[in-house]
Chain A
Amino acid sequence: MNSTDQQIDRALHALRHAAPSDGMDQRLLARLKDHAATPAPSWHPVLTFAPPVAALLTAALLLMVFHHAQRPTAPATIQTTAQAAPEANQATPQRIQSPVVLPASHTSVPILSPSTASQPATAAEIDPAYLPSFPAPEAPLTADERRLLRAAQHAPTYDVAQLEALPEPLARRQGAVAQYIHHMLAPLITAESFSPTPAVEHDPPPLTQPEAQSESQPDSNSSPQ
C-alpha cells in the first residue's frame, strides 16, 4: 500500500470514527419536544386552501347571479308558440287569447313545452291569416328619417338622394335660405297674380353686323340704279 492509499484510508478512518459531542441526544430531545407537540398536518397543503377558494368562488358566482337578476328590464309581452299553435287549429280564429305577461326574469327565451315541441306543425295547420300579428313597438326616428321628414316639409325641391351626403348643419342652412327666398318672393308672386304682366317676346337681336358691313362696304355686286 503506497502513501496515497494510506492518506485516503486515514481520511476515511477519521470520518468513520467521528463522534458527536456529549449530550447531543438530550439536546435533540429537548428541541424536538416542541415539534412533537404540534399536531401533524392532516390535510395536503393544496387541500388546506381548497375550501376557502371554493367558498370565494361560490360567493362570486352568487353575487354575479344576484346582480344579473336585479338588472332593470321592462316586462315583455310574448306569445309562445305553444299557445299559438292550438289557436290555429280552432274553428274560431277571432278568439285570440290575450298575450301572457311574464315577469322580468323570464324575458329571455320563449320556452316550448316538451309536449308541444314534439308535435310537428305543418304549414296547412298554421295559417298565417289566422295567426295574430305582433308588430314591433314604435321606435324613435333615426337621424336619416328625421332629415328626410324635415326636407319633405320645408324644402320640397331637395334631392332626396343627396340627403345622405349632406351634413345636417349644411342641409339646415340651405333649407333656411330657401325658406327666406320663398318668403321674400311671396309678395311679388301675389302682385304678379293680381296684375300679370304681358309676356314679352324677346326677339332675337337684329343682325347689325351684316348691315354695317353692307354700309361700310358697298356691295360690289349690286348694280347702281
Chain B
Amino acid sequence: MRAVLAIVRKDLLIEWRTRETVVTTAVLGILLVTVLAVAHDPTPAAAPALVAPVVWAAVVFTGLLGVERGFLLEREQDCLGGLRGAPIDPTALYVAKLLVNVLLLSVTQAVVVPLTGLFLRVDLWHAVPSLVVVLFLGTVGFAAVATLFAFVTVRLRTRQVMLPLLVLPLLMPLLIAAVKATEAVLGPGLGTARDAVGVLVSFDVIFVTAGLLLFPAIIRD
C-alpha cells in the first residue's frame, strides 16, 4: 500500500507540474468530438442516438494516448529500472498506474462528455449520476487492459502502433456494452440495460484480476 501511494503521488505531482497528459488528451477529445459532431450534423431527433458512440470513440482514443504518455514517464531515464530495482511487490506498480490512469481519464471525460452534449445539442444533465456510473465502469475496464499492455509495449519502438492493435480487439465486448448502457442511460434508463452493466462489471473484474496475476511476469525482464 505504501508503494502504491508513493507511485500515485509521484505521478500526480508530475502531471500537476507538466499537465501533459490531461491537456493533450483533452485537446484530442475536443477535436474528436467536434469532428464527429460536424461530420454527422444530426437532426435534433437523431442526435441522442449519436451521443453514446461519440463519447466512447473519444474515450478510446484519448485513453490510448493518455495511458501511453503515462508510461513514457517511466521510460525516460530508465525510471522503470529504478522501480523494478526497488523491494516492492510488482502488483503495486500495476495498481498505482491503474488508479492514475482511471483518475486522469476521468478528468478528460469531465471535459469531453459535456462538450459532446453541447455539440450534439442533447441535454445530459438529467442522466449525470447514471452516466458517471457507466463511464466509471467502462474506464476501469479500459484502463485495466490498456495499463497491462502499455507495460508489454513500453520498450517496443513500434509501441504507438502495437498498443492499439493489441488492446482494441480485447476491448470490443467492453465497448459494445458501454455503448448500450450509455444509450439506455440517455433513453429508458439504466435499469433497462442490466445485461450491459453486467458485462461491464464482469469485464472489470476479469481484467483487473488478469492484470494483477500477469503483471509480475510481464515486468520481470
Q: Do A and B come from one complex?
A: no
A residues sitting closer than 8 Å to B (CB atoms) are none
Interface positions of B (Cβ within 8 A of A): none
